[in-house]
């Protein structure tokens, strides 16, 4: 007998009352799971994402092992960039490395438009497999946001300061806005293709945009984010915005046509509300807490759940992604605790 579809998290994202606080974890697919580590011995990340059966298997593992209330598609924010003409490789221990970084407006003009159905059909096939046959919980699709993608494309890889990105933005505003427009178009087309294939929510990761102050965000980034979310609103699926080190941008995000704001661990639910945030909130246990003893984990999770239950509009998550040294058994126990403690 097929399990009944559990839409708790979608109802929570829409601000509806639910029977318990739903939970999922960023970077839950893979990381420290032994089955995933076995696959990674013989496959790169991009090789996994090009194999729909294998990618679907990795995506659904956390739901099967931890009883999470949503799956998030296993892929990387770099996945749509190669069809645009960006030579990117995910290097172990480093992250995305780009061999042809953006240096000028000419480089930006050469970027190709993404045709998701023709150029990344394997991602859409994975979504169809999961949503039509394999999952009894919602599947979350996602994309990197233009600023975060641009930072990799300009820096050539990860950065601690985003100095080259910000310098390019300040010195070449015409080129910057062209890049934002091209990446904005890609994000819209890419996420709409995911929705058409079957995902039931979209999260936009602007992981590194906290490097900007609020005034620069309003000038250089907010217009494209408003355009993206305005277009995606037409698809009638919950829209989630997330970044880290971004407390100073929460009210800017609150203005966007999104349903949910993800908090990192630096801002509590109560503090976000005191700042004036009105959206449904998602978060926000510090992932490093999961390396501690269970009493500490339970105490910290309980504090977040208590605030979330009192607030009434909360989905549990981590304040950033699962790290490879977090034990799967800990995530399973945490999910069990969240569900049992928050049961109405």
Active site residues: 27, 31, 40, 76, 152
Q: What is the mean pLDDT of residues 13-31?
A: 94
pLDDT at residue 58 above 50? yes
Q: Are strands 260-262 and 280-285 parallel, antiparallel or unpaired?
A: parallel
Q: Which of 3-7, 83-87, 197-201, 231-235 has the lowest mean pLDDT?
A: 3-7
Q: Is 203 helix (H, G, I), strand (E, B) or coil?
A: strand
Q: Which residues, other chains included, contact 208 with Cβ-Cβ below 8 Å and sequence gap of 6+? A: 147, 148, 151, 159, 162, 243, 244
Q: Name which of 231, 255, 257, 224 is nearest 144 in CA terms.
A: 224
Q: Are 188 and 225 in contact (CB under 8 A)?
A: no
Q: What is the pLDDT of residues 317-337, one digit of tens each?
A: 999 999 999 999 999 999 999
Taking the whole predicted model, whether its pTM rises above 0.75 is answered as yes
Q: Are 272 and 263 in contact (CB under 8 A)?
A: yes
pLDDT at residue 2 above 70? no
What does the alpha-carbon distance between residue 303 and residue 209 come to, in Å, rounded to a whole number? Answer: 28
Residue recorded with tokens 């979350």: 140
Question: What is residue 92's predicted lDDT score, i.e. its pLDDT?
Answer: 78
Question: What is residue 129's predicted lDDT score, i.e. its pLDDT?
Answer: 97
Q: Is 133 helix (H, G, I), strand (E, B) or coil?
A: helix
Question: What is residue 32's predicted lDDT score, i.e. its pLDDT?
Answer: 84
Give the CATH architecture of domain 21-260. Alpha-Beta Barrel (3.20)
pLDDT at residue 1 above 60? no
Cα dist. 324→179, 183, 266, 290 in Å? 33, 30, 21, 11
Mean pLDDT of the chain, nearest integer: 96
Which region, left, alpha or beta, applies to residue 240 given φ > 0 means left and ψ of -120 to 50 means alpha? beta
Question: What is residue 30's predicted lDDT score, i.e. its pLDDT?
Answer: 76
Q: What is the pLDDT of residues 150-159, one digit of tens each?
A: 999 999 999 9
pLDDT tier, 205 (very low <50, low <70, confident <90, very high otherwise): very high
pLDDT at residue 70 above 90? yes
pLDDT at residue 137 above 80? yes
Q: What is the mean pLDDT of residues 206-211?
A: 96
| Domain layout of the chain by residue ranges | 21-260
Question: What is residue 91's predicted lDDT score, i.e. its pLDDT?
Answer: 83
Q: What is the mean pLDDT of residues 86-98?
A: 87
Q: Name which of 13, 176, 160, 30 is nearest 107 in CA terms.
A: 176
Q: Which of 22-36, 264-278, 280-294, 295-309 has the lowest mean pLDDT?
A: 22-36
pLDDT at residue 200 above 50? yes
Residue recorded with tokens 């979209």: 202
């Amino acid at each position: 007998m097929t399990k009944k579809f559990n839409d708790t998290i979608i109802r929570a994202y829409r601000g509806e009352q639910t029977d318990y606080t739903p939970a999922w974890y960023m970077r839950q697919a893979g990381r420290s799971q032994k089955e995933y580590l076995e696959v990674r011995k013989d496959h790169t990340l991009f090789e996994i994402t090009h194999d729909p059966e294998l990618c679907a298997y990795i995506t659904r593992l956390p739901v099967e092992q931890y009883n999470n209330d949503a799956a998030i598609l296993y892929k990387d924010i770099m996945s749509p960039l190669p069809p645009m003409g960006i030579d990117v490789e995910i290097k172990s221990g480093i992250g995305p490395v780009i061999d042809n970084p953006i240096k000028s407006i000419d480089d930006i003009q050469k970027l190709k438009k993404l045709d998701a159905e023709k150029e990344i059909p394997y991602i859409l096939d994975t979504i169809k497999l999961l949503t039509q046959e394999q999952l009894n919980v919602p599947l979350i699709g996602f994309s990197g946001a233009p600023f975060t993608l641009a930072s990799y494309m300009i820096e050539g890889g990860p950065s601690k300061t985003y100095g080259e990105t910000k310098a390019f933005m300040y010195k070449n505003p015409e080129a910057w806005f062209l890049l934002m427009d091209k990446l904005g178009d890609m994000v819209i087309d890419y996420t709409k293709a995911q929705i058409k294939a079957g995902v039931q929510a979209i999260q936009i990761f602007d992981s590194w945009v906290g490097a900007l102050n609020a005034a620069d965000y309003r000038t250089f980034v907010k217009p494209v984010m408003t355009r993206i979310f305005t277009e995606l609103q037409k698809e009638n699926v919950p829209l989630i915005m997330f970044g880290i080190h971004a407390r100073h941008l929460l009210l800017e995000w609150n203005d966007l046509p999104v349903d949910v704001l993800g908090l990192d661990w630096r801002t509590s639910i109560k503090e976000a509300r005191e700042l004036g945030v009105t959206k449904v909130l998602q978060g926000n246990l510090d992932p490093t807490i999961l390396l501690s003893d269970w009493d500490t984990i339970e105490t910290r999770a309980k504090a977040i759940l208590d605030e979330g239950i009192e607030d009434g509009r909360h989905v549990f998550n981590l304040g950033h992604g699962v790290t490879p040294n977090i034990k799967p058994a800990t995530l399973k126990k945490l999910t069990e605790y969240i569900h049992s403690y928050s049961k109405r």
